[in-house]
């Protein structure tokens, strides 16, 4: 069900839009830098309703309900919102505070690569729902020589448990050697699925990195641990999956 976010306190409005921390935006309001509907803002607790115009130093601050970040998850960071002992992917995003963000799917502690982080729960559901069949591609280094038989077995659907056979997956061999380099595309996301699939063909994963999810690709210039908001093209590509984005 659609939740109403307005009316909202002015200081929350500005802090949500990453103009500053709650403390900083209170100072900005008190020093007269913020206007609401062209009048100087009265106080941090002033209520903003839908359609009101908020400006900081004369520049409009438009409220965006949903935010979308693309993170290159490094190894050693937990895919969770918070944890008492380990650093999480949300700890890496300095803009995360107060935004109710969640990672879209889970990468193992030692897996690197593309992770979408958003507060749009419907989009997360669309990307992760097994019925959605959204493609996820991983680059992997595996122990053993990848061969045609592996391609055939991945394409046929590998039995991973008594009651679970993986959906057909595509395997692309980039380098076949004692340690092989491959790309694998799967359309579901069971726990440790890629590792378990390679384990099943006797070629354990040594390194794993997610390089795409649906229309999103891991950018070459985004180093592990770095993140950025989705760009317009990425937003447009996602909107094809979820028109009300």
Count, in order, helices (H) and strands (E) of the chain.
7, 17
Of 26, 99, 195, 203, the one binding ligand URA (CB under 6 A) is 195
Of 46, 72, 102, 111, the one binding ligand URA (CB under 6 A) is 111
71 binds ligand URA (CB under 6 A): no
How many CB atoms lie under 10 A from the CB of residue 93? 16
Catalytic residue of the set 16, 57, 94, 108: 108
194 binds ligand URA (CB under 6 A): yes
Pick 11 or 112: Cβ nearer ligand URA: 112
DSSP strands (E only) in 67-201: 68-73, 102-103, 112-118, 136-143, 159-161, 164-165, 170-175, 179-186
Of 15, 90, 92, 107, the one binding ligand URA (CB under 6 A) is 107
> Smallest gap, in angstroms, from Cβ of residue 71 to ligand URA?
14
209 binds ligand URA (CB under 6 A): no
DSSP strands (E only) in 37-79: 39-40, 47-48, 54-56, 59-60, 68-73
Contact in structure between 206 and 142 (CB atoms under 8 Å): yes
108 binds ligand URA (CB under 6 A): yes
Pick 61 or 208: Cβ nearer ligand URA: 208
193 binds ligand URA (CB under 6 A): yes
Which of 65, 58, 61 lies closest to 20 in space, CA to CA? 61
Q: With contacts defined by CB under 6 A, name the span among 81-89, 92-100, 107-115, 236-244 that binds ligand URA.
A: 107-115
Which of 245, 58, 57, 242 lies closest to 132 in space, CA to CA? 242
Q: Is 57 a catalytic residue?
A: no
Active site (catalytic) residues: 108
Contacting residues toward ligand URA, per CB under 6 A: 107-108, 111, 192-195, 208
């Amino acid at each position: 069900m659609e939740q109403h976010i307005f009316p909202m306190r002015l200081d929350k409005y500005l802090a949500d839009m990453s103009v500053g921390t709650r403390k900083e935006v209170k100072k900005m309001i008190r020093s007269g830098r913020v206007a609401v509907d062209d009048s100087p803002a009265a106080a941090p607790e002033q209520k903003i309703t839908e359609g009101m115009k908020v400006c900081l130093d004369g520049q409009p601050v438009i409220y965006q309900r949903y935010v979308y970040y693309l993170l290159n998850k490094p190894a050693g960071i937990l895919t969770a919102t918070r944890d008492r002992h380990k650093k999480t992917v949300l700890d890496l995003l300095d803009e995360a505070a107060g935004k109710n963000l969640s990672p879209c799917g889970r990468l193992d502690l030692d897996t690197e690569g593309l992770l979408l982080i958003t507060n749009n729960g419907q989009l997360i559901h669309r990307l992760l729902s097994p019925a959605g069949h959204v493609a996820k591609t991983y680059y992997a280094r595996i122990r053993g020589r990848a061969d045609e038989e592996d391609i055939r077995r991945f394409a046929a659907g590998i039995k991973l448990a008594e009651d679970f056979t993986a959906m057909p997956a595509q395997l692309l061999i980039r380098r076949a050697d004692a340690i092989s380099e491959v790309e694998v595309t799967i359309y579901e996301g069971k726990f440790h699925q890629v590792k378990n699939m390679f384990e099943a063909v006797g070629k354990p994963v040594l390194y794993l990195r997610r390089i795409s999810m649906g229309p999103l690709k891991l950018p070459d210039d985004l180093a592990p641990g770095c993140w950025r908001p989705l760009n317009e093209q990425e937003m447009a590509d996602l909107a094809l999956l979820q028109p009300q984005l």
